[in-house]
Chains A and B, each alone.
Chain A
Amino acid sequence: MENDNPVIYGLEFQARALSAQTAETDIVRFLVGTQSLKFSNNQIHLVELNEETGSLKTQVFQHPVGEIWSLQASPTELDKFVTCYNTLNDEGICQMKGALWKLPNVKDDTNEILQLDKISDIDTTPYGNELQIIAYHPMDATKAVSVVDNNFVLWDLTNTCPQVVTVGTLSTKGQPRFTTGKWNPHNGCNQFVTLNENNVRGWDFRKPSETAWNIPAAHSQIIRDLDFNTNRQYFLSTCGDDGYMKFWDIRHPSEPVMSRMEHSHWVWNIRINRFHDQLILTSSSDSRVILSSIASISSEPFGHVSPEDDTTSAEENSNKDKLEDGVVGKYEEHEDSVYAVEWSSADPWTFASLSYDGRLVLNKVPRKYKYQILL
C-alpha cells in the first residue's frame, strides 16, 4: 500500500478488545472482540489488511458466551487466542470468565459468521470475579497469566484442561484490585508486572509471595496500561487517568525517566513498537490516537548509526535534528473513546486502533518519519 490513508472498518457492536495476531509475521492481521450485553450476539472479527491494495479482508466468528473485555492471540500458534468475557450466570449475576479458542480453518472467503472452537475454559472464578486479562507468555504459548481481583495466576495450557502453576496475591490494606498485568519480556520471562490503582508492581514467579519491585504512586490517578520496551531492559512505559504517559527505569522507581502529556483526557493504552522502540502509540478517551517519537530513551537514541562511528559532525547534527522527541502523528478518525491500540506483528509501521463505538482504524507511521528512522 503506497498511500498513508487510514483504513476504517466499522463493527456493528461496541468494542474494547483488540489484539494483533501475534504469531503471524507476514500478513497484517488483527483480532477484535465485541461488547454486547445480548451475550449471544458477540463476535470475533479477524481483520486482514492487504498491503498491496490497502483493502481489508474480514472474517467474523461467533463468540456466543458473553461480551468480550479482553482478547489476546497466542504468540506462537496462528489460530489460537484467549478471551476474557462477561456473562450472566444462572442467578442473574454478571461473571467474568476466560476461555481458550481456536479459529476454524477457512478455505474460502465467506460472509457467513463462523463458529469458533472452544479448546478449554480457563476457570478463574476460584480466585475472584473481576477477571481483567489473560496474558500470554511472550514466547511460550503454553503459559498464560490471568489477573483476577488481587491475584495473578500462572496457567499451564499444555493440556486441554489448563492447570494452575503459581498464584500470587497482593494483600495490602483496602482490598486492592489489579486492573491489568503484563509479562516482563526480559530476564527469561520470569517476571510479571501488575497495576493496581496508581501503583506498578513487579513479581517474580520463582518467589510469588512478595513483590519483587514496585513503583508506588507512579501516576497521580489510576494507571490504565503499561508496556515494556522489548529492546531495552528495565525500561517500561505507563499511562493513566492523569493524561500522562511516563517512562520508567525500574531500577530507579522514585522518578520517571520522562513524562509527557499529549492527550486531553485519560490515556487508556500505550504500546511501544517492538522493532523501533522510539515509536510510542497511545490511545485516549479524547478520541485520539497519538504516535510519539521518544528517541532519547530508545535503544537507538542516535538513530540508525552504523557500528563504525566515523560519521561527520554534519551528519550527526542532522541525525539529532530528526530524532527530537515529540508527537509524530495525531490520528483523529475516531469519534468515541479509543480504548485499544496495537502494533501489527507483521509490519512494524502499521497499527490498529479501536474505539468504543466499534470503529477499527488501521494507520501507518508517516512515511516521512519512517524514512528518517530507516535512513
Chain B
Amino acid sequence: MTDNLSNSYDINGQHFNPDMYLQKMLKECTLKQIMDNEKEIIGDTQTLLSDMQTLVYENYNKFISATDTIGKMKSDFKKMEDSMDLLATNMDSITSFSEQISSTLQGTRQQISRLSSVHALLKRLQFLFKLPGKLKDRMNEGNYSQAVQDYIHAQRVLNQYGNMPSFQGIQKDCEEIVEELKSQLRKQFHKREASTKSLAESVDLLLQLNEPADSLCADFLTHADNRLAEQLAILKDMCENDIIEYVDMGSSGFLSDLCLIVASYNDMFVNRTPADDTDFSDDFDTKALTRLNVFIMDNMKKYFDLIGKRVEDVADTAVLVRALDRFHRRLQAMNMLCTETDFARTGIDIVINAGRKQCRNHLHSLKQHLSETLAKVRQTLAAKVTQDGDGGLAELQATLVMPTIEKVKGVLQDLLVFLQPDLSFSLKPHFLQSFCVDEVREGLVVGYLHHLTATASGFCTGSDVPKFPPTLLLLLSKMCIEFKDSSVRYLLTTTDDLFNIEQHATSENFITTESEICENFQTTAQNLLNHYVRLQGLAVSQMLRKSVETRDWLHTIEPRTVRAVMKRVVEDVTAIESQVAVLYDDADGQMDRSSDSSRKTHSVSVSRHQYRSNWSSYTPSHLDSSLVTNIHKLFSERIEFFSSVQFNKASILTGIIKISLKTFLECVRLRTFSKYGLQQIQVDTHYLQLYLWRFVTDENLVHFLLDEILGSAVHRCLEPVLMEPSVVDIICERG
C-alpha cells in the first residue's frame, strides 16, 4: 500500500495520481517551487509531443514500402507456378528413359560378374600351381615361416580336392617340398650354431606342420643336450680360469641357456593352449614334463659335478666364497624357473662340500706345516746333538707350539668369510650346522688336534732304535702338555666363539669335548715321556752293558781310576738333565735342595757317610748274607723299571737312572770277577753314587741299586775282598 502510495507520487510511474500529487505539491512546496515545477512539466510535455510526431511519420513511411513489396511478390509467384509445371513433365520423360536403359544393359552385367568370379578362382588356382615353386623360393630364401604359412593356407584346399588328378600332382609336389622343408628345419635344428631362439622357431614351425610332438620333444632336448654339453665342455676347459669368472661363465652360459631352453620348451610343448591342438593330450603333457625334468636333472647334475669339482681346489677362501655366493644366488633364481626340484638344496650341498674341501685343504696344509716344523726341529736337534747343552730347546719348543696356534687361528679367520652375513647361503641352518660344527670344529680343529697327538704318538711306537734324536720326544711331550694345559682350550673356545658352535650344534652333530682331547694329549705326552726315558735309559744301559760284557774281569789290574764309561755315563746324564731342565721343572720337593748349596754339601756328606757304613757291612765275614739289601728289600717297595714317569725333571731322570743301573746289575750278575774286578766295580759304583744321587727324587733308590750291584759283584767274585773306602774316595775324587 505504501508502495502504491509512494508510486502514486512518481510522475513517471504507472500508478501516478495527479490529484494526490497536486495536493502534495500544494501542501509541501512553496509557490516558487510549484511554479518551477510547472515550468518544468510544460517543457517536458512539449518535448514529448514532438517526439510523438516524429514517430508517427516514420511509421507511415514504412507502411508504404511494405505495401509495395507485397504487390511485387504477387507477380513473382505467378511466374514460379509455370516453371514447376515444366519440371514435372521433364521428370516424367527422364524416368521413362532410365527404364529403357536398364532393360537394355541387364545381360552384359551378369556376364561380367561371372567373369570376375572366374578370375578369382583362377587366381587361387594359380597360387596353388605356383605354390611348389614359391615354397621352393621361400625355402631358398630361408623364409621358412612364410613358407609354412603358405603351405598351411593351401593345405586345406589341397586336402579337399586331393582326389583330382591335377591337384594330386600339386599336392605331391607340395608334400615333397614340405618334406624337404621339414628336413631343412630339422637340419637347422641340428645345426650346432643355431641359437635357442631360432630353434624354438623351428620347432614351432614343425609343430605347425603337424610333426609328432613327442619326437620333437626328444629331438629338441637331445639337441639342447648337445648344446649344453658344449657349454659344459667349454666350462671344463676353463677350469684354469679364475673361479669367479668360472662361476659367472657357468651362470651366464650354461644356466641361462638352460633356462632359455626350459622356458621355450615349456612354451612349445607344455603350456600350449588346449584349443590349439588336440594331439597335445594330458598324457603328452605329463610325458613332456617328465622328459624335461629328466633333462634338467641330467644337465644340472653335470653342471653341479663340474662346479663341485672346480670349487674343490681354490686357494683363496675369500674368492671362493664370493664365487660360491654368486653360484648360490643364481641357483636360487633358477629354482623359481624349474619348480620340480630343489636346486638350492643341491647348491647348498655343493657349498657345504666346497666348505668341507676348503677345511680339508686347510687341514692338509696345517698337517704339512706340522711335518715341516717337525722336520726343521729334527734338523736343528740333529745339528745340536754334537754341541750338547740346552742350546735353544726352549725356542724350539716355542716354534712347535706358537706358530701352530697362530696358523690354526689364521685358518679360522680365513674360513670365517663363509659366514659373512650378506652371503646368500650364510643363513641356511643346514649349511651353518654342517659347516660350522662338522667341518670347521670337528673336521678341522679337532681333526688337527687328533692329528697332532697321532703324529706325536707315532714317534713312540716302533723300535727302541730311534731314527731321530730322543730330545724330540721330550719336546713333543712338552708340546702335548702345553696343548693340554692351555692351547686346546684356547683353540676350542676361539672356534666356538667365532663360529657360534653352541648355537648351530644340534643333537645330530657329534661334538668332541675338550676333556676328551685333553685326555688324549695327556696320554700322548705320558707315552712320549715314557718312551724318552726308555730310550735314554737304553742308551746309557747300552754303554754300561758293553763295558761289563767286553771286559775280562778275571784278569784285570788293580783299579787306579774310575773307568771312562762311568764318567761318560755321568756326563750323559748331566747332559740329559740340562735338556730336561729347560722344559720340565723340578718336583716341588726338589726345589730347595738344588737351590740351597749349603744343604747340598751337607747332603753329600751325609750320603757318603751312609754309603760308607753300608760298605763296612761287606766285611768278609758277612759277605755271604747280603743282609743290608735284604732288609732294604723288606721295607722298600718293588721297583718298576719300564714304568710311567711324572712330568718333572727329577722323575724323568730317576726313570733313566733306574733303567741304567738295573742293566748294570743284570750284567754284573752274568759275569765272574776277580778281586780286582770287584774292586773296580766298587770304585765305579762309588763314583756313580757321588754323582747320580742329586738327579733323582729318592736318593735311597740309587743307593739301593748301587748296593745291589756291588752285592751282586761280591757274590760273583772268586776272591771277594773290597778296597779300603778311603782309597776308593781318593780314586773317585781324583777321577
Contacts and interface: CB of A to CB of B under 8 A. Distances in A.
Interface of A: 14, 37, 86, 88, 92-94, 217, 220-221, 242-243, 261, 263-266, 285-287, 332, 335, 337, 356
B465 A220 contact: yes
B708 to A, nearest CB: 9
A94 B672 contact: yes
Given A94-B554, A285-B662, A335-B633, A37 B641 contact: no
Nearest to B638: A287
Interface string B706-719: 00000000011110
Given A242-B464, A265-B642, A86 B672 contact: yes
A265 B718 contact: no
A108 to B, nearest CB: 31
The 9 A-B residue pairs with the shortest CB-CB distance, nearest first, are: A220-B464, A220-B463, A265-B641, A264-B640, A264-B642, A264-B641, A94-B672, A335-B633, A243-B642
Given A86-B672, A94-B554, A265-B662, A286 B715 contact: no
Contacts of B641: 264-265, 285-286
A14 B715 contact: yes
B265 to A, nearest CB: 60
Contacts of A285: 641, 662, 666
Interface in B613-668: 633, 638-643, 662, 666
B404 to A, nearest CB: 31
A261 B527 CA distance: 14
A332 B717 CA distance: 29
Contacts of B716: 37
Contacts of B715: 14, 37
Contacts of A243: 642
The size bracket of the interface on B is 20 to 34
Contacts of A266: 666
A178 to B, nearest CB: 15
B666 A37 contact: no
A285 B670 CA distance: 13
B186 interface: no
Contact of A356 (B669, B672, B718): B669
A212 to B, nearest CB: 25
Contacts of B666: 266, 285, 337
B550 to A, nearest CB: 11
A291 B465 CA distance: 28
Contacts of A88: 718
Q: Is the interface of B mostly helix, strand, loop or mixed?
A: loop
Contacts of B633: 335
Contacts of B538: 221
A94 B672 CA distance: 8
B534 to A, nearest CB: 9
Nearest to B640: A264
27 contacts: A14-B715, A37-B672, A37-B716, A86-B672, A92-B554, A93-B554, A94-B554, A217-B463, A220-B464, A220-B465, A221-B464, A221-B538, A242-B464, A243-B642, A263-B642, A264-B641, A264-B642, A265-B641, A265-B642, A265-B662, A285-B641, A287-B638, A332-B638, A335-B633, A337-B666, A337-B669, A356-B669
B568 to A, nearest CB: 20
A287 B641 CA distance: 11
B554 A264 contact: no
Q: Is the interface of A mostly helix, strand, loop or mixed?
A: loop
A285 B661 CA distance: 13
Nearest to A336: B633
Contacts of A332: 638
A343 to B, nearest CB: 24
Nearest to A88: B718
A17 to B, nearest CB: 14
B170 to A, nearest CB: 88
Given A94-B672, A220-B464, A356-B669, A37 B717 contact: yes
Contacts of B718: 37, 88
Contacts of A86: 672
Interface string B291-318: 0000000000000000000000000000
Nearest to B718: A37
Given A243-B642, A335-B633, 10 more contacts: A37-B672, A37-B717, A88-B718, A92-B554, A94-B554, A217-B463, A220-B463, A221-B538, A287-B638, A337-B666
A86 B672 CA distance: 10
B535 to A, nearest CB: 10
Contacts of B662: 265, 285
A14 B712 CA distance: 10
B681 to A, nearest CB: 15
A217 B462 CA distance: 13
A353 to B, nearest CB: 16
A217 B717 CA distance: 34
A264 B645 CA distance: 13
B585 to A, nearest CB: 26
A175 B669 CA distance: 22
A356 B643 CA distance: 22
Nearest to B463: A220
A194 B662 CA distance: 26
B643 A264 contact: yes
Contacts of A263: 642
Contacts of A287: 638
A65 to B, nearest CB: 15
Nearest to A243: B642
Nearest to A14: B715
Contacts of B554: 92-94
A265 B464 CA distance: 14
Contacts of A37: 672, 715-718
Nearest to B542: A221
Contacts of B463: 217, 220
Contacts of B642: 243, 261, 263-265
Max chain B C-beta neighbours (<10 A), residue from A242, A265, A286, A287: A265
A344 B407 CA distance: 63
Interface in B691-731: 715-718
Interface string B338-373: 000000000000000000000000000000000000
B633 to A, nearest CB: 5
A133 B571 CA distance: 39
B451 to A, nearest CB: 26
Nearest to A16: B669
A217 B465 CA distance: 11
A243 B464 CA distance: 11
B172 to A, nearest CB: 83
B673 to A, nearest CB: 9
A37 B641 CA distance: 29
A264 B640 CA distance: 6
B129 to A, nearest CB: 94
A263 to B, nearest CB: 8
Contacts of A93: 554
A306 B32 CA distance: 178
Max chain A C-beta neighbours (<10 A), residue from B464, B465, B633: B464
B468 to A, nearest CB: 15
A204 B346 CA distance: 69
A220 B539 CA distance: 13
B249 to A, nearest CB: 54
A287 B636 CA distance: 14
A198 to B, nearest CB: 10
Given A220-B465, A242-B464, A286 B672 contact: no
Nearest to A86: B672
Nearest to A221: B464
A335 B632 CA distance: 11
Contacts of A356: 669
A337 B705 CA distance: 13
Contacts of A286: 638-641
A287 B639 CA distance: 9
Nearest to B662: A265
Nearest to A265: B641
A286 B640 CA distance: 7
Nearest to B712: A356
A298 B58 CA distance: 167
